[in-house]
Structure 1
Amino acid sequence: MRRPVAVLFRIAVVITTVLGVHLTTRDSSFTASLAYFTIQSNVLVAAVFAWSASATWRGVGHPPTWLKGGTTLSIAITGLVYNLVLADLPVAPHASPIWHLSNQVVHVVTPIAATVDWLLFDEHRRFRFSHAFAWLAYPFGYLGFALVRATTVDGPHRYPYPFLDVDVLGWDGLALNVLLYGGAFWLLGLALVLIDRALPRNAPPAPVPAEPTRAAVSRSAGSDIC
């Protein structure tokens, strides 16, 4: 019973995430929207969960542990940073109710859904403490991307987030933010590892055996006669 529930849940996450990304970015080009960690992490969730749903249904080829864990951490970062740091910032006055709804999807619904999936349907006791450090490669890679992008873009959205704005913070302020946020993300990764090790193993259900084909049945019958 858990297997079909996991498949349906993951398909629902993919559909919801894709819809949230589409509605959030429909007033601007998708390429420009990819400058935001929020959009990148939601696209990552959609891709990994589509893979995971297919693999769960077929019982083979699940996403690697480091990828599924890193995806969970990345989308958790999206949700926590938005709700703890960015939620009270002013938004564009012309933003539609649909945009506000989709904004909640990509910042709240998807992070919660991805966390629930990890808790209920993933196999546990597979994370290593080294993963908490390795998972930082994506946030720090995004930092490098944002700084390089800023050298090619002008205007108020040169830096995608205020805590990366070198023009306002200066390089010293940016370095302090990198230390603080990087440390917080590492601790969050460690928390995922510790929780994973404390949870029941939750081994994935065995795949449903394929029905024997008519040819296979005929060969088996023939071998019995011989």
Structure 2
Amino acid sequence: MSDPNRTSQSTRHATGPAGAAARTPAAAVAPATRHPLAAAYRLLITVAALTGLVLEAVATPDAARLLASFTVQANIAAALVSAASAHRAWTGRHPLSPGLTGATLSFLTLAAVLHHALPATPTTAFALPRPTPGTPAHSLAPLLLATLTPFAALADWLLLTTPRGFRPCHAWQWPAYPLLYLAIALAFPTPPGTHPVNVTTTLPTTLTIALASCLLPVITIAIDQVRPSPRLPGNRISPTGIGPLK
């Protein structure tokens, strides 16, 4: 495979403007490919995550309770990563590392699965703090943080990113933080209702959380290896060499 950053032997000793142009790597003159639609979509993900966080903050004045929630932490990461990805897509820069975006997707997916599969009570690990009943955050905040943002991030991954970017090493890297979070919840339990990091006393629920933390990244990586490449506009491959005009 040819290297776009190298020049051929025939043009290495060329002189004049033609020789200078021939010695210029194609990667240095290739125009940046901007993706405004992808940037706009990722900006919407950022807005959805931030809106859910603001609503959750209104219903939970205690900042320690709010920041200790795994779902809130995952959405903070999603807002930051989506904003950075939107900026790179708008300016045509290289996308963020798949390890970073995949970890954020893994955290959001885990939070969504546990929110819908397990009772959202203070005795369940990873649960959101209980908002005040009757307030808009009582229904909107969980909808945005545990449903809309994770599904939007999932669609972004499936429809707007290149496949086969995830690596087998991510299968043990991504579960590291959720398992650490669970271990802290088990080691330092607090009275129910005083802190969102409370783990249920039942062993099956604890094992379910640990199993989900390990299996979801493996499933995500497996899907990434076989899913088709999305057809994004403006992704035409540029020539890697400079030749004479015909």
The bucket for the TM-score relative to the shorter chain is 0.7 to 0.9
Partner of 1:97: 136
* One-letter code aligned to 1:196: D
Q: Distance in 1 between matches of 2:37 and 2:167?
A: 27
In structure 2, the gaps of 5 or more residues are: 1-32, 124-129, 237-246
Q: 1:10 to 1:155 in 2, by over 3 A?
A: same
Partner of 1:192: 220
Percent of aligned pairs sharing the same letter = 27
Partner of 2:175: 136
Partner of 1:24: 56
Q: TM-score, normalization: structure 1? A: 0.75
Instruction: Give, in angstroms, the shift of residue 30 of structure 1.
Output: 3.1
2:112 is equivalent to residue 70 of structure 1: no
Partner of 2:19: none
Counterparts of residues 33-48 of structure 1 (less than 5 Å): 33-48=66-81
Partner of 1:157: 194
Match of 1:115 among 154, 164, 189: 154
Instruction: Give, in angstroms, the shift of residue 159 of structure 1.
Output: 5.3
Q: Distance in 2 between matches of 1:89 and 1:35?
A: 12
Deviations 1:154-201 (A, max 9, x none): 56334534xx24xx34xxx3xx64443222232221111111111223
Does structure 1 conserve the Cα–Cα contact (< 8 Å) formed by 2:36 and 2:90? yes
Does structure 2 conserve the Cα–Cα contact (< 8 Å) formed by 1:124 and 1:203? no
* One-letter code aligned to 2:53: V
Q: Distance in 1 between matches of 2:139 and 2:36?
A: 32
Q: TM-score, normalization: structure 2? A: 0.69
Q: Distance in 1 between matches of 2:44 and 2:196?
A: 33
Instruction: Give, in angstroms, the shift of residue 122 of structure 1.
Output: 1.4
Q: Which moved more, 1:66-75 or 1:198-207?
A: 198-207
* One-letter code aligned to 1:133: W
Aligned residues: 196
Match of 1:49 among 82, 88, 92: 82
Q: Distance in 2 between matches of 1:49 and 1:198?
A: 24
Q: 1:156 to 1:201 in 2, by over 3 A?
A: same
Does structure 1 conserve the Cα–Cα contact (< 8 Å) formed by 2:49 and 2:79? yes
Q: Which moved more, 1:185-194 or 1:39-48?
A: 185-194
Which structure: larger Rg?
A: 2
* One-letter code aligned to 1:53: A
> What is the aligned-residue RMSD (CA, Å)?
2.9
Instruction: Give, in angstroms, the shift of residue 59 of structure 1.
Output: 1.9
Instruction: Give, in angstroms, the shift of residue 202 of structure 1.
Output: 4.0
Deviations 1:28-48 (A, max 9, x none): 233320111110001010010
Secondary structure class of the residue paired with 1:86 = coil
Instruction: Give, in angstroms, the shift of residue 206 of structure 1.
Output: 5.6
Match of 1:6 among 29, 38, 47: 38
Partner of 1:15: 47
Instruction: Give, in angstroms, the shift of residue 86 of structure 1.
Output: 2.4
Higher helix share: 1
Secondary structure class of the residue paired with 1:129 = coil
Secondary structure class of the residue paired with 1:26 = helix
Does structure 1 conserve the Cα–Cα contact (< 8 Å) formed by 2:58 and 2:137? no
* One-letter code aligned to 2:58: R
Does structure 2 conserve the Cα–Cα contact (< 8 Å) formed by 1:59 and 1:206? no
